[in-house]
């Protein structure tokens, strides 16, 4: 039997009774095209990047470092999913103060 735990709170999740959420994060180096001539304007750079990423997924390329491409996967319980959705980057929230309009 497969056992799941929430990757944030470490609570064990029962596959029969607990709802489990999967979060997938894909991080890759951004490609910013430089000034291109007329022939280059017809190229779909995003499609080319997607093709490269798909090929990398299919092969185990040890030569590509984590600073270029990384795929992450996490299992979350319902409570941790709510927290993740509210603040996916884990930023500290500033307290809002109500100031008088005088």
* pTM to 2 decimal places: 0.60
Rounded Cα gap, residues 64 and 50, in angstroms = 16
How much is the average pLDDT of 66-71? 84
Rounded Cα gap, residues 82 and 76, in angstroms = 9
Rounded Cα gap, residues 8 and 77, in angstroms = 8
* pLDDT for the residue 12: 95
> How far, in whole angstroms, is CA 54 from its chain's centroid?
16
* pLDDT for the residue 71: 92
Tokens coding 15: 């596959």
How much is the average pLDDT of 23-33? 86
Confidence label for 92 from pLDDT (cuts 50, 70 and 90): confident
Confidence label for 31 from pLDDT (cuts 50, 70 and 90): confident
CB atoms within 10 A of CB 52: 14
């Amino acid at each position: 039997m497969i056992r799941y735990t929430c990757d944030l709170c470490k609570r064990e999740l029962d596959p029969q009774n607990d709802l489990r959420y999967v979060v997938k994060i894909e991080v890759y180096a951004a490609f910013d095209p430089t000034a291109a001539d007329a022939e280059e304007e017809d190229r779909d750079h995003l499609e080319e990047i997607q093709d490269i990423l798909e090929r990398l997924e299919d092969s185990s390329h040890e030569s590509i470092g984590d600073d270029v491409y990384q795929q992450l996967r996490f299992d979350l319980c319902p409570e941790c999913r709510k927290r993740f959705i509210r603040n996916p980057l884990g930023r500290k929230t500033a307290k809002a103060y109500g100031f008088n309009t005088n």
